[in-house]
Amino acid sequence: MKKLILLLSLVALLGCTKAPDANVATNLCIKACQDALSEGMDLSNGPCLSNEIADNWVCDVAHSPRQAIDNDPSNQCPAYGVSASHFVEVDPECNFIRAI
């Protein structure tokens, strides 16, 4: 019984630690986007802003709704699916779209 309680506690703890990672990655991605805009970077083609905005997260610009240019691999983060399992998408005006 003690092992079961310990296991369930561990699962709950690990589950709770993932949400802050998404929030941190989202905030960092929005900041990176704002910095890119302030530097005059053109975000209209939906570029990858970071292959590691946070541990296991990339930061990508996309359109909402998605456009064909968003599906162009040259505009996507190459680390996603290789060294990163999660991504944050913001639009070209740095508005949050989604985090997965």
For the stretch 58-91, pLDDT in tens is 999 999 999 999 998 888 999 999 999 999 999 9
Question: Is residue 93 one of the residues assigned to a domain?
Answer: yes
Mean pLDDT of the chain: 85
pTM: 0.78
The β-bridge relationship of strands 57-61 and 48-54 is antiparallel
Question: Is residue 81 one of the residues assigned to a domain?
Answer: yes
DSSP result, 22-41 = HHHHHHHHHHHHHHHHHTT-
> Number of structural domains, the chain?
1
Question: Is residue 12 one of the residues assigned to a domain?
Answer: no
Reported as a pLDDT band with limits 50, 70 and 90, residue 17 is very low
pLDDT at 56 over 70: yes
Would you give the DSSP letter of residue 69?
A: G
Which residues have a Cβ under 8 Å from the Cβ of 97 and sit 6 or more positions away?
62, 64, 89, 90, 91
DSSP result, 74-90 = GGS-TTBTTTBSEEEEE
The parent domain of residue 58 ranges over 20-99
Element housing 4 (H / E): helix 2-38
Average pLDDT for residues 28-41, to the nearest whole number?
98
Reported as a pLDDT band with limits 50, 70 and 90, residue 10 is very low
